[in-house]
Chains A and B, each alone.
Chain A
Amino acid sequence: MIQTWAMLVDAYRELNAKKLFWITLLISGLVVAAFAMVGLTEKGIKVIVWDIPVPMFNTTTIEPATFYKLIFSNLGIGFWLSWGATILAIISTASIFPDFVSSGSIELTLSKPISRLRLFLTKYATGLLFVTLQVAMFSLASFLVIGLRGGAWLPQVFWAVPIVVLFFSYLFSICTLVGLVTRSTIAALLVTVIMWLFFFGLNATDAVFVQLREQAVLREKALVTRVDNLEKRAAQRVREKRQAALDLDPAATPRPDDPVTPEDLDADNPRLPAQRQKLADERESVAKWSKWSRLFVGIKTPLPKTAETIEVLERVLISEAELARFRAPGDEEEFNVGERDDVRISGREMRQSTEKALKSRSLWWVMGTSAGFEAVVLLIAGWIFCRRDF
Chain B
Amino acid sequence: MIASTSEWAIDLTHVDKMYRGKIHALRGIDMRVRRGEVFGLLGPNGAGKSTLVKILMTVISPTRAEGTVLGKPVGHKPTLARLGYLPEHHRFPEYLTGGQVVDFYGAMGGVPKAERRKRAPELLELVGMREWANTRVKQYSKGMRQRIGIAQALINDPDLVVLDEPTDGVDPVGRRDIRGMVQVLKERGKTVFLNSHLLSELEMVCDRVAILVQGMVSSQGTIDELTRESRRYVVTVRGPAPPWAGEAGLRISGEHNNVATLVQPNDDADAVQRVIDRLRGEGRVVVSVTPVRESLEDLFMRAVTDPTTGKAAGPGAAREGRAR
Contact = CB atoms under 8 A, between A and B. Distances in A.
Given A2-B112, A114-B77, A390-B59, A104 B107 contact: no
A106 B113 CA distance: 23
A3 B96 contact: no
Interface in A5-23: 5-7, 9-10, 13-14, 16-17
Interface in B93-151: 93, 95-96, 100, 104-105, 107-113
Interface stretch (B30-38, B80-88, B198-206, B261-269): B80-88
Interface residues of B, number: 33
A110 B58 contact: yes
A273 B112 CA distance: 86
Contact of B107 (A3, A102, A103, A107): A3
B89 A14 contact: no
A2 B78 contact: no
B239 to A, nearest CB: 62
B108 A5 contact: no
Contact of A105 (B60, B91, B108): B91
Given A111-B83, A111-B85, A104 B59 contact: no
B107 A2 contact: yes
Contacts of A105: 90-93
A115 interface: yes
A108 interface: yes
A113 B54 contact: no
B57 interface: yes
Contacts of B54: 107, 389-390
B10 to A, nearest CB: 15
A389 B61 contact: yes
B295 interface: no
A112 interface: yes
A7 B110 CA distance: 12
Nearest to A5: B107
A225 interface: no
A237 B41 CA distance: 108
A182 interface: no
A10 B54 CA distance: 24
A44 B105 CA distance: 59
Interface residues of A, number: 28
B273 interface: no
B105 A108 contact: yes
A74 B80 CA distance: 51
A14 to B, nearest CB: 6
A253 interface: no
Given A2-B112, A103-B89, A106-B59, A112 B95 contact: no
B79 interface: yes
Contact of B87 (A10, A14, A104): A104
Given A3-B110, A113-B110, A10 B59 contact: no
A13 to B, nearest CB: 6
Nearest to A112: B108
B112 A389 contact: no
Contacts of B19: 389
Contacts of A108: 85, 87, 90, 105, 108, 152
A106 B90 CA distance: 9
Contacts of B95: 13-14, 16-17
Contacts of A10: 93, 96, 104
A109 interface: yes
Given A13-B95, A105-B91, A110 B59 contact: yes
A13 B105 contact: no
A5 B108 CA distance: 9
Nearest to B164: A107
B89 A115 contact: no
A259 B83 CA distance: 98
A103 B91 CA distance: 8
Contacts of B100: 13
Interface string A95-126: 00000001111111111111100000000000
Interface string A212-227: 0000000000000000
Contact of A113 (B59, B80, B89): B80
Interface of A: 2-3, 5-7, 9-10, 13-14, 16-17, 102-115, 387, 389-390
Please list the 10 inter-chain residue pairs (A to B) with the smallest Cβ-Cβ separation, ordered nearest first. Answer: A6-B107, A17-B95, A389-B60, A104-B91, A111-B57, A107-B87, A112-B108, A113-B81, A113-B80, A111-B85
Interface of B: 19, 54, 57-61, 77-81, 83, 85, 87, 89-93, 95-96, 100, 104-105, 107-113, 152
15 contacts: A2-B113, A3-B107, A3-B108, A3-B110, A7-B108, A13-B100, A104-B90, A106-B59, A108-B87, A108-B108, A110-B57, A112-B108, A112-B110, A115-B77, A389-B54
Given A17-B95, A104-B89, A107-B90, 19 more contacts: A2-B110, A2-B113, A5-B107, A7-B108, A16-B95, A103-B89, A106-B59, A107-B54, A107-B59, A108-B87, A108-B152, A111-B59, A112-B80, A112-B108, A112-B109, A113-B80, A113-B110, A389-B19, A389-B59
